[in-house]
Amino acid sequence: MDLRQRVFGMLGMAQRAGKVASGAEAVTSALSTGKTELLIISRDISRNSLDKLLSAAEKGEKVTGKAVTCFRFGTSDDLGQATGKAARAALAVTDKAFAKGISDLLEGINEEEDI
């Protein structure tokens, strides 16, 4: 199984465990309140939506004093399919263990793309 499929599989497990916020309102809320451990933004997100998410992440950083790890990965359709939902432009992983595992995989993908 390649790294991309492993990321999608872990996102699905995190969703089933109730550790993923998806949808604009839920992700923005998780970011603003500092509950987000990892933010995954689709590569096809609109500029306006991206700006709103980044603004919410900055607000959350001010509240908690910690920056949220963020990756651009997949398309909206990919993220929706991974979580068993309609297309999603962003996902907020709220569990540290899931966030660490997914981050490690995404870093591996980024390293492969740099080659």
pLDDT exceeds 60 at position 114:
no
Task: Kindly report, residue by residue over 87-97, the tens digit of the pLDDT.
Answer: 999 999 999 99
Q: What is the pTM of this model?
A: 0.91
Share of the chain above pLDDT 90, in %: 75
Mean pLDDT to the nearest integer, 18-47: 93
Average pLDDT along the chain? 91
3-state secondary structure of 34: coil
Say what the pLDDT of residue 86 is.
96
Q: Which residue, 39, 49, 35, 40, is CA-closest to 4?
A: 40
pLDDT exceeds 70 at position 56:
yes
From the candidate CATH numbers 3.40.50.10860, 3.30.1330.30, 3.40.225.10, 3.30.930.10, the one assigned to the domain spanning 3-110:
3.30.1330.30
Q: Which residue, 98, 112, 109, is CA-closest to 39?
A: 98
Say what the pLDDT of residue 89 is.
95
